[in-house]
Amino acid sequence: MRNEISIGLLGLGTVGSGVATILQQHQEDLRHKLGVQVAIKKVLIKDTTKERLSPLDSSIFTTDIEEVINDPSLDIIVEVMGGMKGAKQAIENALRAGKQVVTANKDVMAEHGHELLKLADEKKCDLFYEASVAGGIPIIRTLEDGLASDRIAGLMGIVNGTTNFILTKMKQENMSYEEALVKATELGFAEADPSSDVDGWDAARKMVILSSLAFSTEVRLEDVLVRGMKEIQAGDLQIAEGFGYTIKMVGSSNKDEDGIEVAVEPILLPNLHPLASVNNEFNAVYIHGEAVGETMLYGPGAGSLPTATSVVSDIIAACRNLLLEVNGKRLHAAQHDLVIKEDKSCFAKYLHRLLVNDQVGVLTQLTAIYSKHGASLQSVMQHPAENEDQAELVLLTHRISREQHLKVIKDIKSMASVISHYRIEGESAT
Amino acid sequence: MRNEISIGLLGLGTVGSGVATILQQHQEDLRHKLGVQVAIKKVLIKDTTKERLSPLDSSIFTTDIEEVINDPSLDIIVEVMGGMKGAKQAIENALRAGKQVVTANKDVMAEHGHELLKLADEKKCDLFYEASVAGGIPIIRTLEDGLASDRIAGLMGIVNGTTNFILTKMKQENMSYEEALVKATELGFAEADPSSDVDGWDAARKMVILSSLAFSTEVRLEDVLVRGMKEIQAGDLQIAEGFGYTIKMVGSSNKDEDGIEVAVEPILLPNLHPLASVNNEFNAVYIHGEAVGETMLYGPGAGSLPTATSVVSDIIAACRNLLLEVNGKRLHAAQHDLVIKEDKSCFAKYLHRLLVNDQVGVLTQLTAIYSKHGASLQSVMQHPAENEDQAELVLLTHRISREQHLKVIKDIKSMASVISHYRIEGESAT
């Protein structure tokens, strides 16, 4: 019986230092849980001159990645270096060297997850990636084990803390998008270049990972419909509120007999929906299981210690498997071929906000467009526009296909301006 | 390599039929996940004459429990018969016979869980009990695995759907307690005798299970401070709302260097607290981890299929262990001796609602009581009472100990009526 498990840590940034801190502080708990010592024995760093607050002794630092991956004394490789190419290669090499691997890398798992999980199965090694989605929320584990017995019909996630923080400030403190972004940057919730967050690609990568797991298939980034939060125009939040809805950047993924539909976009959620009250930088994933009904997991989506908590939970799982000699027994082969639904099979209600010339017959012309495409309307509201000769119209449709929605929007553009348009999820109480 | 796992089902009521249904509907998924067939081979029923909708063939039904537990061909015994004595004995006998056991029985796990888990360890068998707390929410698994790396500082749960449903109706539809209870009974959310729910004992049992797990110690039912929802008086919800709080029946469990404090009682939660928007029959458990910060799991707390989902997830876990031959390797020995905090070490803010005679000097007399016990006040508000000679006072304290709170309440009773009193959790935004 071994009495120690040795870890190689790739990266000692925000998450890496968190992992080192938690492993050190919890030595006693870990020994109680596992019966062995768990110790970091080698650490890949980039810059040897940097001052570090980590509890680790610098004698175990190296700048040579091979020295970590090929060290035969190491049992588990923890990849928290980030980035794409080097990290992917590192995970691949570690698996080929027969190491158990834990990663927090959403970019790698979204683009190469299927391939790497297959390699892990082949090499009979564990590849855990809980921290790659929604930092401190144990969502991967819940989909794999907690709801293992259920068939997931759909899931919706607020999986990007930056955009959720910005939207919360815009709604609760009436800030403009620009003001809220500055605030998010000041507080460290937004990166210097926030485009991956605000354009929806960060959330889309997470939805690739979650959807693949939830539906046991191989979703790819190009399958996700992505609309960024810049689609949200001044006044939209107030208009939504007037109908009893909250605008949130939501990743959604649904499955029915026609296939799977994955999207990341600003949508209208009824105020009473559990996701509507997820505010600030918090994340949440709402799951609709056929048997269990509605469940939701809520928590911090990022941050050094929350993310490190997920990494260390994965390390503990890998340790347990090592001690029982059952690593790599959780086969990842997809059960279903991927079928992405066509626009004509994706149904929802929509809100269309338009600017029209305020003249006789315009409403007739407009509603004729909806009729032409078989899209029936639930309500039409007119507001005065800034320019006296114009009027603002807010139209709510009944359930129509995305194809109908897009055709209507295209035709409307020939006679009016489309200020904004949103998919509506569920019914508001108003 | 075996190609089938056989299950003995004790009980074919609400949860048992749900288990049978899910196992039948998901045969293909299970075979994909596990590589074997999972089949119910024997079922204990009470009444052989009853018509049943279950998909099972009645040839496998028996009224003799020994025939199930002692059948050497069965691998897993699933206890969903409910009740206390017979169920406890059945679990014990099944473990002694070397079976893996899955139970949904909160009463047995709250009163005999420590003993049964020890027996399971001794017999090297699994004893899973996810469905015993918060039906469809994978909370046990999250505490065991998802947050395995974190130290839990506290948890709060809305773990009784009946009382949460009643409180929601009282708040949102202005129903009286009695009206809401009738509604809950009609909808099947309350039992014929609702006392175990409304008096808090159902929630207390769940808190025993959760606290023992979260703090790795052996909490007992008598350690829980329990106040039922009958403590809530007409007008209390409105008064709380005026201060920006929502009244919820909450089980709370906290740990610090002085020990552990476990309570089930109606408390005041800030409206923006994630638990405050958990409505109707839904359950939620809010966890405060030292590293991860705040997380919450939300979902259905009861119901045939949600609860059965948790049971089947446990069955799958037991199957995986059987296939890997690693059952009973998750030792349950408590890491810490139980230390329950004394009242003088439990600190909180309180709201006191009093009825006093409206005469000169009464407020001086009253505040003298608070001063005498070193309890400082944050605010005092006076309302007119029904009787002209009286006044209603609502006092909010600063943080005081439960000992101070109880002494103040006791002394006040000599000069005024105490209508109601509540612990306050956190700060409202108002």
For the stretch A128-145, pLDDT in tens is 999 999 989 999 999 998
pLDDT of residue A148 exceeding 90: no
Q: Do A291 and B274 touch (CB under 8 A)?
A: no
Chain B (201-220) residues lying within 8 Å, Cβ to Cβ, of chain A:
216
Q: Residue A200 and residue A220: Cα distance in Å, rounded?
A: 15
The 3 state secondary structure assigned to chain A is CCCEEEEEEECCCHHHHHHHHHHHHCHHHHHHHHCCEEEEEEEECCCCCCCCCCCCCHHHEECCHHHHHCCCCCCEEEECCCCCHHHHHHHHHHHHCCCEEEECCHHHHHHHHHHHHHHHHHCCCCEECHHHCCCCCCHHHHHHHHCCCCCEEEEEEECCHHHHHHHHHHHHCCCCHHHHHHHHHHCCCCCCCCHHHHCCHHHHHHHHHHHHHHCCCCCCHHHCEECCHHHCCCCHHHHHHHCCEEEEEEEEEEEECCEEEEEEEEEEEECCCHHHHCCCCEEEEEEEECCCEEEEEEEECCCHHHHHHHHHHHHHHHHHHHHHCCCCCCCCCCCCCCCECCHHHCEEEEEEEEEEECCCCHHHHHHHHHHHCCCCEEEEEEEECCCCCEEEEEEEECCEEHHHHHHHHHHHCCCCEEEEEEEECCCCCC
Is B198 near chain A, with CB under 8 Å?
A: no
**pLDDT reported for residue B49:** 81
Per-residue model confidence as pLDDT tens digits over B209-241: 999 999 999 999 999 999 999 999 989 999 999
Residues B152 and B284 in one domain: yes
Computed over every residue of chain B, the mean pLDDT equals: 94
Contact B32 A141 (CB under 8 A): no
Partners of B356 in the beta sheet?
A: B391
What is the pLDDT confidence band of residue A429, given thresholds at 50, 70 and 90?
Answer: low
The CA distance from B77 to B120, in Å, is: 13
Which residues on neighbouring strands pair with residue B73, listed in sequence order? none
Residue A332 belongs to some domain of the structure: no
Q: Is the pLDDT of residue A52 over 80?
A: no
Domain-embedded: residue A13: yes
What is the average per-residue pLDDT within B125-152? 93
Task: Mark residue A34 as left, alpha or beta (left: phi above 0; alpha: psi -120 to 50; beta: remaining).
Answer: alpha
pLDDT of residue A430: 59
Residues A354 and A279 in one domain: no
Each residue's pLDDT tens digit, B364-377: 999 999 999 999 99
- A311 vs chain B: nearest CA distance in angstroms? 9
Domain count of the fold of chain A: 3
What is the end-to-end Cα distance of chain B in Å, rounded? Answer: 64
Chain B residues with CB under 8 Å of A305 CB are 291-293
Quote the CA–CA distance of B362 and A44 in Å, as a whole number: 71
> Shortest Cα distance from A98 to chain B (angstroms)?
20
Q: Which of A133, A137, A145, A171 to mutate to test the interface with B (most CBs of B within 10 A)?
A: A145
Interatomic CA distance for residues A411 and A370, integer angstroms: 9
The answer to whether the CB atoms of A292 and B298 lie below 8 A apart is no
Q: For residue A206, give Cα distances in angstroms to A164, A168, A250.
A: 15, 21, 11
DSSP state string for B275-342: GGG--TTEEEEEEEETTTEEEEEEEE---HHHHHHHHHHHHHHHHHHHHHT-TT-S----SS---BPP
Residue A303: pLDDT over 80: yes
CB contact under 8 A, A293 and B316: no
* Chain B interface includes A288 (CB < 8 A): no
| Predicted pLDDT of residue A390 | 94
A:B CB pairs within 8 Å? 167
Is B126 in the same domain as B245? no
Decide: B282 and B135 in contact? Cβ < 8 Å: no
- Summarised one tens digit per residue, pLDDT across range A68-120 is 999 999 999 999 999 999 999 999 999 999 999 999 999 999 999 999 999 99
For the stretch B391-426, pLDDT in tens is 999 999 999 999 999 999 999 999 999 999 999 998
Question: Model confidence over A172-200: pLDDT tens digits?
Answer: 999 999 999 999 999 988 888 999 999 99
Q: Is B85 in a helix, a strand, or coil?
A: helix
Report, as an integer, the average pLDDT of A35-43. 95
Residues in the annotated binding site of A: 10-17, 106, 191
Based on the domain organization, do B77 and B105 belong to the same domain? yes
Residues B258, B163 share a domain:
yes
Is 90 exceeded by the pLDDT of residue A422? yes
- Put simply, whether B271 touches A (Cβ < 8 Å) is no
- Contact state of A293 with B141 under an 8 Å Cβ cutoff: no
Are residues A110 and A191 located together in one domain of the fold?
no
Model confidence over A319-371: pLDDT tens digits? 999 999 999 988 788 889 999 999 999 999 999 999 999 888 899 999 999 99
Q: Could you tell me the CATH number of the domain that includes residue A161?
A: 3.30.360.10
DSSP string, B124-142: T--EE-GGGSSTT--HHHI
- B98 annotated among ligand-binding-site residues: no
Q: In the predicted model, is pLDDT for residue B429 greater than 70?
A: no
Using the beta-carbon criterion (under 8 Å), do A22 and B291 form an inter-chain contact?
yes
Q: Which residues contact A408 (CB under 8 A, 6 or more apart)?
A: A352, A369, A370, A373, A375, A400
Supply the pLDDT for residue A1: 67
Nearest-CA distance B301 → chain A (Å): 10
Contacts of B153 (CB under 8 A, 6+ apart): B254, B255, B256, B288, B289, B290
Identify whether residues B101 and B225 lie together within a single domain: no
Residue A246 lies in a domain: yes
Angle value at C-alpha A18, between A15 and A20, nearest 5 degrees: 115
> For A286, which residue in chain B has the nearest alpha carbon?
B298
Domain match, B364 and B284 both: no
CATH code of residue B104 = 3.40.50.720
Lowest mean pLDDT among A33-37, A255-259, B330-334, B378-382: B330-334
Residues that constitute the known binding site of A for NADP(+): 10-17
Q: What is the pLDDT of residue A2?
A: 82
Residue B331 placed within a domain: no
* Average confidence (pLDDT) over A225-230: 97
Residue B10 annotated as binding site: yes
Across B268-289, average pLDDT:
95
Q: Do B295 and A32 touch (CB under 8 A)?
A: no
Please name the member of B141, B298, B335 whose beta carbon is closest to the beta carbon of A295: B298
List the CATH number of the domain containing B367. Answer: 3.30.70.260
Residues of A with Cβ-Cβ distance to B34 under 8 angstroms: none
Domain extent at residue A384: 343-424
Examine the residue annotation and report whether A42 is marked as an active-site residue of this protein: no
Return the pLDDT at B157.
Answer: 97
pLDDT band at B1 (very low <50, low <70, confident <90, very high): low
In 3D space, the residue among A266, A23, A262, A313 whose CA is nearest the CA of residue A160 turns out to be A266
- The answer, yes or no, to whether residue B331 has pLDDT greater than 70, is yes
Tell me, yes or no, whether A334 lies in a domain.
no
Instruction: Identify whether residues B167 and B23 lie together within a single domain.
Output: no
Does residue A337 sit within a domain? no
- Other Cβ atoms less than 10 A from the Cβ of A297: the count is 28
Looking at the fold, whether A172 and A287 belong to one and the same domain comes out as: yes
Task: Quote the CA–CA distance of B18 and B303 in Å, as a whole number.
Answer: 9
Chain A residue nearest residue B288, CA to CA: A299
Catalytic entry in B206, B248, B341, B407 = B206
Asked if the structure places residue B168 within a domain, the reply is yes
The predicted structure's pLDDT at residue B25: 92
Mutation site, A150, A172, A215, interface B, largest B CB count within 10 A: A150
Please say whether the beta carbons of A80 and A13 come within 8 A: yes
Q: How far apart are CA A354 and CA A418, in angstroms?
A: 5
pLDDT tens-digit map of A230-271: 999 989 999 999 999 999 999 999 999 999 999 999 999 999
| Residue B294: inside a domain | yes
Q: Which of residues 143-162 of B touch A (CB under 8 A)?
A: 145-151
Residues A291 and A309 in one domain: no
Q: Name chain A contacts of B18, Cβ cutoff 8 Å.
A: 291
Residue A242 CA from chain centroid, whole number? 28
pLDDT for position A192: 86
* A chain contacts of residue B311, beta-carbon cutoff 8 Å: 149
CA–CA min distance B373, chain A (Å): 39
Between chains, do A32 and B216 touch, taking CB under 8 Å as contact? yes
Kindly state whether residues A240 and A370 are assigned to the same domain. Answer: no
Percent over 90 (pLDDT), chain A? 86
Sole residue written with tokens 């008064």: B239
Per-residue confidence at B118, pLDDT binned at 50, 70, 90? very high
Interval A203-227 mean pLDDT: 97
Rounded to a whole number of angstroms, the distance from the CA of A416 to the nearest CA of chain B is 41
ipTM for this prediction: 0.90
